[in-house]
Structure formats: structure tokens, C-alpha cells
Amino acid sequence: MDERLTILELHDDALLAAVLEPQRRWAAYALCDLEPPHRQYARFVGAMRGGVLRAVVLLYCPPGFTSVLPCGAPEEVAAIMRAAEELPEAPLLIVQQGNRAAVETRYQIHKSWVMLRMVVQPDTLASAPGVDATVAALGREQLSEVSRFYATWAESVFTPFMFEHGIYFGAYVEGVLAAIAGTHALSTHHEIGVIGNVYTHPNHRGKGLATAVTGAVAREVVARGARDVALNTREDNLPAIAAYRRLGFQVEEPFWEASARLRS
């Protein structure tokens, strides 16, 4: 049997799912991106040895956003990064701590920060405490309002594409949008969803609104069949971590996010 490592672009979604599913809580984004509408923007480059897929790197480039996310052991990820062609020029890197060096073979990191992957399951998802606000699902007719709201947050990665194909809830105080949360991606087939874009206006913080809207999104994701609901937060964002823990989320692992540029 040929034991050489072969690097190739992959289009067999069943093969991809077979290697991603065992690491589903880390590979949540990649599993979601195997489904429409995300699949058309997702490239998967894999490392195979002896006919077995060992590692995968997701290159995801929907409108207004670009990311690179490796799944696998450092040796195989490094081989993919060395051989992969047409890598994104300036993506957001989403990288497990052991794979940072592998990714740096092709990318110069400008700024990085440690994130926590947190996960909850249906039987451990808790109800959010009551809040003095109206929590409501957001639809297409609220897109302009939502876009203006996120424009006040410098770190937002919100795009209309995410909103159109996601689940979003907002908290209104006296008729004004004060907090919001939504999904980055959702897979009904793989029964997993990723929550993101959780933001409370500075004038309304400390009132439990982030917990309320995140809980509403998580409950809807579970209602659509998810076995795992994941989200990310910075390791130094203690109020957010506490809010998510109140809903039953637990830390799965720390990882790196980084802004980077492809090396010459």
C-alpha cells in the first residue's frame, strides 16, 4: 500500500464528513459548510495516506468574509498548507493551538488572540433569566436595522449573507434594538449550529440581554434538530463567558483566531 501523503482538493462530501464528524465540536464550521448555501463558497483541501483521509483545511470565501480553518494533526495540516494552491490573500485564521506553526508556513500573522470554543447540548441547555426587554426573531424586513446596529461594533463580522441564511434574535428596549445574536452557520443534516455576532449596545450592558438573545438562538437551533450548539468567545471576555455558562455552555478548547496575510 502506498503510504505517501497525497495532497488534493476534495469534492466528496461523504468522505469529508467521515473525517470531520469525529471532531465535530471543533469542525462545526466545516460540517455546516458541507451544506447549501455555504457549500458553494467552501473549498476543502485534504491530506490522504494509504487511501485514508487524515486532515482537511477549509477555505471559506462567501460574500464579505474569508476564513481558513484546519482540522487534523499538525504534520498533515503542515503538508496541506505547503502544497495548497490559490490560498486566500488575507483571511481570518481559525486554528487549534497545535496547528499555529503549520499555518504560519504560508501566512504571516499580524494580530492574534485566544478564543474559547464553547458547546452545549439539548439536555444541558438552560433557560435564560427573564429580562426587561422584548426578545423577538428577526427577519429580512429588519436587515437595514440590523446592519446599522452592527455598524456601531468595530469587531463585527456580520454580513447580509449570514443574516439571510441564519437565525437571529434581537432584544428591544422601549422599541429600540439593544442586543442581538445570530448563527454563523447551521447544518440540519449534521445536526450542529454555530452561534455568533452576539452584541449588546454599550448603553444596555449588564442587563442580561446577551444571555437572553443567545439563549433564544440556541433554543431555535436545537428545535431544528441540532445535537451540538457551538459558539466562540475571547478568553478574556469574562462577562460573556459567564453569560454563556448560565445557558449551559461549557468550554471545549482554546484556539487561535488571527488576522493574517499570505506570505510572498
- Residues 104-114 have pLDDT tens digits of 999 999 999 99
Domains and their CATH numbers in the chain: 5-116+257-262 (3.40.630), 119-253 (3.40.630.30)
Q: What phi and psi, each to the nearest 5 degrees, are found at residue 159?
A: -135, 150
Task: Single out the residue of 184, 147, 168 nearest to residue 217, CA to CA.
Answer: 168
Q: What is the pLDDT of residue 124?
A: 97
The predicted-structure confidence for 37-93, as pLDDT tens digits, reads as follows: 999 999 999 999 988 999 999 999 998 899 999 999 999 999 999 999 999 999 999
| Cell numbers standing for residue 182 | 445570530
Q: What radius of gyration do the chain's Cα atoms show? A: 19
The whole-model pTM stands at 0.93
Q: What is the pLDDT of residue 155?
A: 82
Collapsed DSSP state (helix, strand, coil) of residue 43: strand
Q: Given the C-alpha cell 445570530, which residue does it identify?
A: 182
Q: How confident is the model at residue 238 (pLDDT cuts 50, 70, 90)?
A: very high
Distance CA 66, CA 37 (A): 15
Q: Provide the Cα torsion 13, 15, 18, 20; round to 10°.
A: -60
The predicted-structure confidence for 5-49, as pLDDT tens digits, reads as follows: 999 999 999 999 999 999 999 999 999 999 999 999 999 999 999
The predicted-structure confidence for 159-183, as pLDDT tens digits, reads as follows: 999 999 999 999 999 999 999 999 9
Cα dihedral across residues 189, 13, 18, 256: positive or negative? negative
Examine the pLDDT at 133 and tell me if it is beyond 80. Answer: yes
How many Cβ atoms are within 10 Å of 17's Cβ, its own excluded?
A: 17
Would you call 153 exposed, middle or buried from its count of C-beta atoms within 10 A (0-12, 13-18, 19+)?
A: middle
Cβ atoms of residues 37 and 63 within 8 Å: no
Distance CA 62, CA 68 (A): 12
Examine the pLDDT at 1 and tell me if it is beyond 50. Answer: no
Q: What is the pLDDT of residue 157?
A: 85
The DSSP-derived string for 46-84 is: EEEETTEEEEEEEEE--TT--EEEEES-HHHHHHHHHH-
Task: Single out the residue of 160, 157, 221 nearest to residue 186, CA to CA.
Answer: 221
Cβ atoms of residues 124 and 100 within 8 Å: no
Distances from the Cα of 136 to the Cαs of 24, 30, 129, 144, 213, in angstroms?
Answer: 30, 29, 15, 16, 8
Cβ atoms of residues 207 and 219 within 8 Å: no
Distance CA 147, CA 145 (A): 6
The predicted-structure confidence for 189-216, as pLDDT tens digits, reads as follows: 999 999 999 999 999 999 999 999 999 9
Mean pLDDT computed over 137-157: 93
